[in-house]
Amino acid sequence: MKLMPALPETIFDICYLIFAVVGGTALIAKARVRSCVRLFGVMALILGLGDSFHLVPRMLNYWTVGDYTAALGVGKLVTSITMTVFYLLFEYARRERYGISGQKPVLAAAWILSAVRVILCGFPQNEWTSAQPSLLWGIIRNIPFAVLGVLTVVMWFRTAKSDKPLRFVWLAVTLSFLFYLPVVLFSQQIPLIGMLMLPKTCMYVWVIVMFMKAEKT
């Protein structure tokens, strides 16, 4: 039994993927010599292309006959890695935007947390292709990811206060994690909680919109 109508979710997913990819491509094209804008574009592309690895099998599962369990699992693995890269690039974009050359411990922490997250995602105990993957490993691999998210929130909150187009990046990231973590913890027991991924995705759309506004300033 599907917990929400297939058509609305499919339309939402398609619109999101197109928006992220087109928006990212447009930002890269407009970047010229502004490396921070180019990074914003690359980040948007990573969001769209990375999420497509699990959203496309999900949509196919709605509209075609077949077992997409393995494809969905592999897609979630790919998305987990691309989202980690996305948050690592968040730190580089902050440094480029505001001309920060110091704060090396922050950059080192972002790299360490990203590397630990990717390594944990590669462990077979995650059971990515299983219909009931390991909840314990879902929690374990998301610990460094959550810490990376907190680091991103804190640094953008401190740095972007006076940057009108980007002053709420910290809030969008905070809300995205608040929507995401209950899915990690409880979606296997209460599948309806998985619907929180929709507002989580909306937060990333908001981030891309902020990137687009920042390109003009």
pLDDT of residue 191: 85
| CA neighbor of 12 nearest in space, from 161, 199, 181 | 199
pLDDT greater than 70 at residue 34: no
> What is the rounded CA–CA span in Å between residue 45 and residue 170?
20
> Over the stretch 136-180, which tens digit does the pLDDT of each residue have?
999 999 999 999 999 999 999 999 999 999 999 999 999 999 999
Q: Is the pLDDT of residue 4 over 70?
A: no
pLDDT per residue as tens digits for the range 74-102:
999 999 999 999 999 999 999 999 999 88
Q: In the prediction, which pLDDT does 36 show?
A: 87
Give dist(CA 105, CA 85) in Å, integer: 18
- pLDDT at 216 exceeding the cut of 90: no
What per-residue confidence (pLDDT) applies to 33?
A: 61
- Place 1 in a pLDDT band, splitting at 50, 70 and 90: very low
Two tokens, residue 109:
């922490």
